[in-house]
Structure 1
Amino acid sequence: MGTSKQGDVLYWVSNRTNGEGGLDIWFSLIDKTGKYGNAQNCGRKINTAGNEGTPFYDPKTGTLYFSSEGQIGLGGYDIFKTRGSQKKWEAAANIGYPENSSVDDMYFTLDDNGYTGYLVSNRVGSISVKSKTCCDDIWRVEYPKKVLYAVRGNVYDQDTRELVTGAKVLFLDDQQKQIGQAVSSKDTLYFWGTRPQKVYSLKATKEGYFTGSATFSVTQKDNDDTLRVDLFMKKIPHEPVRIRNIFYDFDKASLRSESHAPLDTLYGVLQDNPAIIIEIGANTDSKGNDDYNLKLSQARAQSVVDYLLQKGIPQDRLQAKGYGETNPIAPNTLPNGKDNPEGRQLNRRTEFRIIGEIPGKELIYEQGNPGFDPDSIEEEDDQPQEEEEKE
């Protein structure tokens, strides 16, 4: 029994007319009321002029296992597999030894976890009555266990440590392709199917917050396990945020090389939050005249914007604003009128603040491979027509 978007699918065997010859594998859709649809042939990627039989469909992987004496094999009936559904199938492949032998191998099935297979065969080693290959026995095949891990966690406010609900959480592989998503709530989030020796990341987005992200690797363990990965999101502030360690050449607007690291961090923030529009504000101390300081600060703010533009941030997300000496955060002079070097150093600063948002803009990642989609396979042409139901 298989599944599809139209309902359950029953795969079965018949030598009725309009097939490919001999015994063929057919299918019928079953609607919600339990009524069976018309008989339809699975097509030439499965059926041959010889005999096919014993279909078993694994819905977890979208794989149909069947036996055929018309396909090229090791002898007698061999077990084959193909992925797909109904009339859309990949080319069938022989699953090889030890499942297949030189005699008949049929009725292959897997248990629910996929670690144990069963088949019927009259191969040498069966309990014999007349000859070594006279009789069918049930055989078992053990498969190596694939260790998969679940990832669980919650989304929290970075400052209050309270749960953040309604955040969109994306699950990304090491190629930054999306392989899952969920919406945060008070309940713990779960993502499944991580594999050992792989690196994954989670990213959470919500209006009013900077994107929260976490990167983690899966280490090899003997048994299935659950990893705890929590995400922390910081609210977007209304006040300016100082960018520390931004240095300019003396009396110039050009950035010094040691300024690149903190600006690269800001670039990462902009990459992770593609909707925000920021203003880069540059400030000076009170040395020099007002007009000169205003022009110098504007040029310095533009230098930061130019750096981010070169990194690939669009122009419409960046604005440069020079404030000169108009926004001090510390006194430039002491109460006795003497110079205050520490205060002037605090006033020479570069900041950014959020001034807008691009409506509808969000992080978009290429889809990875979360599972098998039978609809990705094209239906072969000139298949046998379905047989109408007879009252």
Structure 2
Amino acid sequence: MKITHFTLLIAFLLASSMNAQNQLPWRKRAKMAADFEKSGDLYRAAVYYRGVYEEKKDKPEYSFKAGRCFLDLRDYENAVKSLEVVKDDNNNPKYDKPGYKYALALKQTGAANKAKEAFNSFLLSYQGDDKELYREFVENELKGCNYALKAQQYTNPAVTIEHLSPKVNSAKTEFAPIPFANDVLYFSSTIKGVAKIHRTVKQADGWVRPQVPSIFVGKMERTHFGNGSFTQDGNRFYFTQCDIIDGKPQCAIYLMENLGGGQWSAPTILPDYINPDDANTTHPVVVTSDNQEILYFASNRKGGKGGLDLWYTTRPVNSNIKSFTLPKNLGRNVNSIGDEISPFYHKPTGTLYFSSNGRVSAGGLDIFKSKGEKLQWEVAQNLGFPVNSAADDLYYTISEAHGGGYLVSNRPFEPERSTTTDDDIFYFGIENIELAISGAIRDSDYPERGLLKDLNIKLFQKTNLGDEELIDERILAVGEYEFKNLEPNTSYIISIEKENFQVASFPFTTGSQSENISNDVELIARTDIVLPPRVDPQDIRYYIMAAHYNSNSNAYQLPVDPIDPNLGIEYTGDTLKIFYELDAIAGLGDYRKLYYDEDGIPQPYHEPQIVKQEDIKELPIFPGPYPPSPIAPPSVVYKIQVSAVRKFRADKYEVLKEIGRLSTEKISSGLKRILVVSKETNEENIDGFKRKSDALNALSYVLNNSGFEYAFVIKYVDGERVGEGFRGWNEEEGLDTDTKPDGRIPKDVYEGF
């Protein structure tokens, strides 16, 4: 059993280290540990560092070094023991944030409450220049701890997890399962010391012992190969080849093609604009859609959000390998400041599954999902338990042919395994739990008249973060509804609307057993409708609240009662309905006031915020002024993005009027970008700064004199945004540095294969 092998290995190494104490001076052993670490032999390095500390208790730096190695090895328990010695020395220059590393290790042992205490303790004591950055990291990790503590709430009882047999899983790492037809499974393994793709078949008595398929033998130009994806027709295979340099993989994506007769071509590396020399490119998954191949992959290439990001490129199905489009980043709804890896696209549901350590996770890497394609994605959602665990969970893949799917994890799974230092492949099955809700909709005043007609009904799901996500919307000709295929142990809200009736909504939560929930609804009629002279909704709004109330500083005081304040006449019909809409919006702000934004949309009034002088003094100082740079070509301008908001508060941006005009851009999900442009339009009548230096000088003012600490300059060419933005004179205009546009830096990247 692999855990026995692991335990004996550690015991042997520890014993060897203790024996060495009697044979070698501690300085010699410390030098040996450093050499082991440099060569990538982290186990021996950790054990030797630990041995030195056991002899020299006055040198806790060796306990820190041991803990650092154990954490890199994902030996969380030994990492906790070693880092605990120095967890409070967060401002000691000998160490690199030991308290933060200690808290991370605790979290991945599953000790969420202890990890919360450790994260808070670290933040209270740490005084480094990057404290605000780590405050953000800690806040995210605390959310992850709270999420883990609510595991029961986020557990899907329909999912069962099974550890694959020892014929597949070895004492080494197994990863990247590729389910194929007829119970065939391809996967990658390091059982022989190097990563190779293996093939096995599930028979009545279990899995056949895996073999490396002959199509790969003798064809590889690099030492390691693995994590691949077949095209829908099975005739092309995208996969990764890697070299290990200084203990870290350097990977690129290759393609093999079926030549017929059981023969496959030699691997061909994809173009260098997909596989740049200065980046890791790996984890390909290919989807065929509309006679086009869409290749999703992970890469830490320049221009990403942080660490490894997910990207995509496309080509026509029958074109050559040089026909791929330039890769594009999947965007912020998928990618984060951390790592996003091992994508899998489930075509029947249009859902992307991937792993991330930059989002709210129960452990390190958790598995998430997002519906969409190419550049259009919903906000990623955590899959919950038991798919995720306190350890790392990745390589999620679904196979209808195999009746479930596979994932890879380093979680303990008694009695098969207790270690966390290597990855194994797990099978997950989904029990057929049928959950639905249905009901009839009638008039509460006249239920005997039967079902209402012509209704709008919406189904919302409460997400892990407390949001209400619209997942289904229908127009009902007759007042009968039914929603099937609901998720178990999940909270939903149903909202029903009909003209001349009050909106009705109700929450419900599904259980863990098959059930058809029945819930009839009765709608309450509004006041009898009398058509007002103005039938256009916007005209009615302007009738109630004049159009000149168009800023936060010029807001309208909405009456408490639905009565025309000038005529003393009660609002009725559609006018009454829109009054209540305005009433609801005004209630979101201060003093029941509201105003129209530049698009004529009513917005709640907010009491103006006053920036205290002492707060301004604490803001970071950014350089400037910059000398005049050349005037950009006619098609190029620069703008300053200060925020992206759902609801615009004009008072927050008053300070920016000192340097330019405010401009807005609509983006997805109802968000607006708030931009600063030059006070006057240029000769081409285009908003923006014509000199890069003018934009950077204006940015310096924003960063030094306002609360918009994440502002950055963005370049526009022919009205289109170029790159991700920049904040410094020497930065390229596509954000090609390690500093992100919001001022943060990436976490350590995932170093797996």
More contact order relative to length (CA 8 Å, sep ≥ 6)? 1
Q: Normalized per residue, which structure has more helix? A: 2
What TM-score, normalized by structure 2, do the two folds share? Answer: 0.20
What TM-score, normalized by structure 1, do the two folds share? Answer: 0.37
Q: Which has the larger radius of gyration?
A: 1
